[in-house]
């Protein structure tokens, strides 16, 4: 098993997951990256979700115009096309800095769940084998996730597109989340935009670009040997814990047993 040094837990990030996802990592050597527009929280990926309703596009455009008052209509359309295309082609995965948290365990809704830990620095220059560029950042927690706020963050961060998918409301601050974002190599698209109004043109662009590229999961190669800590749910049975222990031994991973957070 991998040795535990003095700094064993100091620079780790964690992912809580179902047992099936854990096996997927072990046997298929991959992490599953998902389209952020499908996250259930309506304020997650708000920029993307605003394109699903024309009136929301207009609100977004109004706020954008206040920050860039000298932009023409074509400038705004071009910016929105590029940003939305990048985000439609991007995929994300959520991690956390919390090593053993009851709320995060409970969110997995079951006694057959697992938490893995890897060193954060692993993702600094991660090879995604031509699939794009992987960046990782702590989530920013803000009082209100509204158009004005997220656009301001985007501008302040030198127009860094990842800021559109790395913000959440303060109420989720307990998650202490760290997010992986797989960005595409380019923002190109073939879908033409047309319409009598800005919102109509952008709505068609958005729907067409989603259809062009699809919203399927993407996978990045991940060596299970990168895992330095494995723990099972505090609700795990002894039988399930033994199953995870056997899996860990097979792949020479360190198993920390059942979480004792309820003790």
pTM assigned to the model = 0.92
pLDDT value, residue 144:
94
What string of pLDDT tens digits covers the 263 residues of the chain?
Answer: 444 444 545 699 999 999 999 999 999 999 999 999 999 999 999 999 999 888 899 999 999 999 999 999 889 989 999 999 999 999 999 999 999 999 999 998 889 999 999 999 999 999 999 999 999 999 999 999 999 999 999 999 999 999 999 999 999 999 999 999 999 998 898 877 777 888 888 988 999 999 999 999 999 999 999 999 999 999 999 999 999 999 999 999 999 999 999 99
pLDDT value, residue 10:
60
pLDDT value, residue 9:
55
Q: What is the 3-class SS of the chain, one letter each residue?
A: CCCCCCCCCCCEEEEEEEHHHHHHHHHHCEEEEECHHHCCCCCCCHHHHHHHCHHHHHHHHHHHHHHCCCCCHHHHHHHHHHHHHHHHHCEEEEEECCCCCHHHHHHCCCCCEEEEEEEHHHHCCCCCCCCCEEEEEECEEECCCCHHHHHHHHHHCCCCHHHHCCEEEHHHHHHCEEEEEEECCCCCCCCCCCCCCHHHHHHHHHHHHHHHHCCCCEEEECCHHHEEEEEECCCCCHHHHHHHHHHHHHCCCCEEEECCCCC
pLDDT value, residue 2:
42
pLDDT value, residue 4:
47
């Amino acid at each position: 098993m991998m040795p535990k040094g003095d700094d064993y837990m100091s620079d780790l990030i964690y992912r809580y997951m179902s047992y099936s996802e854990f096996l997927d990592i072990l046997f298929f050597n991959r992490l599953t990256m998902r389209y952020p527009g499908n996250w259930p929280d309506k304020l997650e990926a708000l920029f993307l979700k605003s394109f699903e309703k024309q009136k929301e596009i207009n609100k977004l455009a109004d706020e954008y115009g206040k920050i860039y008052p000298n932009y023409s209509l074509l400038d705004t359309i071009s910016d929105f096309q590029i940003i939305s295309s990048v985000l439609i082609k991007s995929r994300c995965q959520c991690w956390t800095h919390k090593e053993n948290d009851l709320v995060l365990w409970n969110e997995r809704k079951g006694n057959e769940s697992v938490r893995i830990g890897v060193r954060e620095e692993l993702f600094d220059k991660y090879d995604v084998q031509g699939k794009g560029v992987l960046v990782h950042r702590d989530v920013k927690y803000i009082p209100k996730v509204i158009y004005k706020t997220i656009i301001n963050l985007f501008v302040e961060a030198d127009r860094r597109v990842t800021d559109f998918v790395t913000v959440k409301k303060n109420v989720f601050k307990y998650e202490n989340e760290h997010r992986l974002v797989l960005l595409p190599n380019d923002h190109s698209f073939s879908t033409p935009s047309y319409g009598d109004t800005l919102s109509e043109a952008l709505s068609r662009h958005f729907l067409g670009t989603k259809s062009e590229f699809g919203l399927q999961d993407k996978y990045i190669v991940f060596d299970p040997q990168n895992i330095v800590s494995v723990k099972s749910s505090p609700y795990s049975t002894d039988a399930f814990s033994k199953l995870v222990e056997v899996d860990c031994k097979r792949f020479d991973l360190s198993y920390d047993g059942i979480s004792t957070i309820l003790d």
